[in-house]
Amino acid sequence: NAGVTQTPKFRILKIGQSMTLQCTQDMNHNYMYWYRQDPGMGLKLIYYSVGAGITDKGEVPNGYNVSRSTTEDFPLRLELAAPSQTSVYFCASSYHGDNQPQHFGDGTRLSIL
């Protein structure tokens, strides 16, 4: 089992460019999450999904979009990259809600210059 796989691992973008961060899981988990991690801030939830076709905003959704067309995949889209979006992005998944631990990918380190 690969678990949660994120691509790319590193990326540098110019201001105003767009890109998609990919996330896929092979554990047949219903719930998926996107977090960003900034130094000294812990992880902040961007978007989450409780199943295919269902997404909702987290704590810091501005500047991002998501889709969930399949159980396995949960891509995160940045439409107009801004320096404030420089961060490390983590995707996670769990079988279902509150009483299940989340499994994390290794992260995507994104720099906006």
Partner 1 sequence: AQSVTQPDIHITVSEGASLELRCNYSYGATPYLFWYVQSPGQGLQLLLKYFSGDTLVQGIKGFEAEFKRSQSSFNLRKPSVHWSDAAEYFCAGVHGSGNTGKLIFGQGTTLQVKP
Q: What is the binding site for partner 1 (CB under 8 A)?
A: 4, 31, 33, 35, 40-45, 48, 50, 56, 58, 90, 92, 94, 96-107
Name which of 17 and 67 has its Cβ closer to partner 1: 67
Name which of 20 and 37 has its Cβ closer to partner 1: 37
* CB of 5 vs partner 1, minimal distance in Å: 10
Region class of 78: left (phi > 0), else alpha (psi between -120 and 50), else beta = beta
* CB of 9 vs partner 1, minimal distance in Å: 9
- Bond prior to 8 in cis (omega within 30° of 0): yes
For CA atoms 112, 23, 103, 10, the dihedral sign is: negative
CB 78 within 8 A of CB 85: yes
> Which single residue is written with the structure tokens 């690969």?
2
CB 108 within 8 A of CB 78: no
Name which of 7 and 17 has its Cβ closer to partner 1: 7
* CB of 80 vs partner 1, minimal distance in Å: 26
Name which of 17 and 75 has its Cβ closer to partner 1: 75
* CB of 46 vs partner 1, minimal distance in Å: 11
